[in-house]
Amino acid sequence: MNVRVVLLPEPEDPDSFARSHTAAEVQEYIRANEQDFLAFKARLLLRDAEGDPIRKAALIGDMVQSIAQIPDPIQRSVYIKECGRIMDIDERILISEVARKRLASTGDRETDEFVRRQTARQIAEAPPQPARPDTQFVGRIEVGSSVEALEREIVKYLLKHGHEGFEFKEGRTMVACNVAEVIFSELDADRLTFRDPRFNKILETYRAQWRQLGVGTEVPAHHFLNHPDPEVCNLSVDILTSDDNYVPS
List the domain boundaries for the chain.
4-33, 37-125, 137-248
What CA–CA distance (Å, rounded) separates 14 from 71? 31
Gyration radius from the chain CA atoms? 24
| Phi, psi torsion values for 248, nearest 5 degrees | -60, 140
Q: Alpha helices, DSSP H only, in the chain?
A: 14-20, 23-33, 37-48, 53-68, 73-87, 91-106, 111-125, 147-161, 179-189, 197-213, 222-225, 230-240
189-200 per-position pLDDT tens digit: 888 889 999 999
b/e sequence 31-48, b meaning 16+ C-beta within 10 Å:
eeeeebebbbbbeebbee
- Going by their DSSP bridges, the two strands 137-139 and 246-248 should be labelled as antiparallel
113-168 per-position pLDDT tens digit: 555 565 556 556 656 555 444 434 344 444 445 888 889 989 998 998 888 888 76
Average pLDDT, the chain: 76
3-class secondary structure, 159: helix
pTM above 0.85, yes or no: no
Among 21-30, 34-43, 130-139, 199-208, name the one with the lowest average pLDDT: 130-139
What CA–CA distance (Å, rounded) separates 119 from 111? 12
